[in-house]
Amino acid sequence: MSSSHSPEKFDIAIVGGGPSGRIAALALVQQGLSCVLIAPSANREDGRTTALWQRSIDLLRDIGVWSAIEGSAEALKKMRMIDSTGRLFRAPEVVFDCSELGLEEFGFNILNSELNVVLEKACAAQSGLEVISDTVKTAEFGDERATLFTSGGRTISARLAVAADGRRSTLREAAGIEVKRWSYPQVAVVLNLEHRLPHQQISTEFHAATGPFTLVPLPGRQSSLVCVETAEGAANLLAMTQEELEAELERRAHSILGSFKLASKPQSFPLAGLTATSLVGPRLALVGETAHVFPPIGAQGLNLSLRDIRDLTTVVAAATRSHADIGAAALLASYEKKRFSDIRSRTNAVDVLNRSLLTEFLPVQAARSAGMYLTGKVGPLRRILMREGLAPGTAFQLHR
């Protein structure tokens, strides 16, 4: 595809209007490079929430947005896992406490809508970053530059394109990067709740036979809920009246937070997974859900995406300091090498945990129960798992 207009030239073009795209734009432009963010307006109706772990918060602090986020977020100080499968082999309750690692909190939980607003304002105010409220229609990737053609008729030329345009990425498809997709026989019902009792900054995950039922604290006496069900079970929940649904969710939560009142409209999402066969192409790097998607279990999704952004920013910054080509194949290969093991390990861990809840195979049920028992009883093992959950590769390092 060609254009009669002269292309607008930048060092880096970032595509995608979600948190990953906006955070990538802020991180990269702050390396002294000319950047453009091509993104539609942020979604301010998204009722879902995101739990941000410490390393993600460090990145948000580095790019200057954490202070604007923190006031709308709730600290997560403890995480407990409760076996609610009702099966023959049931694990004891396990509690992870941030104080065991010498931390004030594991992280914070925030509404996606509020996170999106902060990031959109930060991008609009960021010097050196041009924001185009548009989408990319198609793209071409040459030896020297990537050329992006927007739906509004603009032509953007960049030494490096960063695809953060989601699981149905236009850039990834234009580059011919294939993906592996899979699905689960489950649907996540997502909503926010007001409750009578304080959550005490404790996140609780019930392991049910259909998947996790997870309550994560929000400011005040509110929590976000992710309830993983069969398709039929999810449809039954969504068909209930508000009063019926509140009572049913309280029953599933064993009334640990008292009575419930809905604080948002329920949403549902079929559970599926995706991994890109390559994280890079000519003049192209993939980050976030363009590169990897898995179920909302263990609060790993956006935290994994932010590690993509940190590693990409690190290699781009090093190239900039040495006056090297920021879109060179060797540089992009180094980014891919940094990321693949982390992505693979997180994807596999979430997949195994989810499938272990679904299986009726008794030896697998017994192994999962034994693992939870050991986690609860053996302090060093529990601390290793906590560190790995927060930041891969740091299990044997000392933390503040």
Architecture per CATH, 8-74+109-180+274-357: 3-Layer(bba) Sandwich (3.50)
**Position with higher pLDDT, 103 vs 265:** 265
162, two tokens: 């960063």
Residue 133 sits at φ, ψ, to 5 deg, of -80, 85
pLDDT at 298: 60
Q: What gap in Å lies between CA 180 and CA 255, rounded to an integer?
A: 40
pLDDT (tens digit per residue) in 229-285: 999 999 999 999 999 999 999 999 999 999 999 999 999 999 999 999 999 999 999
pLDDT at 100: 82
**Position with higher pLDDT, 93 vs 14:** 14
Q: Following DSSP, what letter does each residue of 161-215 receive, concatenated?
A: EEE-S-TT-HHHHHTT--EEEEEEEEEEEEEEEEESS--TTEEEEEEETTEEEEE
- For the chain, the structural domain boundaries read 8-74+109-180+274-357
Is 21:284 a contact under the CB 8 Å cutoff? no
Q: What residues does 255 pair with on adjacent strands?
A: none
Is 70:118 a contact under the CB 8 Å cutoff? no
Considering only CA atoms, which of 289, 286, 288 is closest in space to residue 269?
289
| Helix/strand/coil for 269 | strand
Residue listed under structure tokens 């699905």: 183
Helices (H) and strands (E) in the chain, counts: 11, 20
pLDDT at 209: 81
pLDDT at 359: 44
pLDDT band per the 50, 70, 90 thresholds, residue 364? very low
Which residues, 6 or more positions from 177, have their beta carbon under 8 angstroms from its beta carbon? Answer: 276, 277, 278, 281, 284, 286
pLDDT at 109: 95
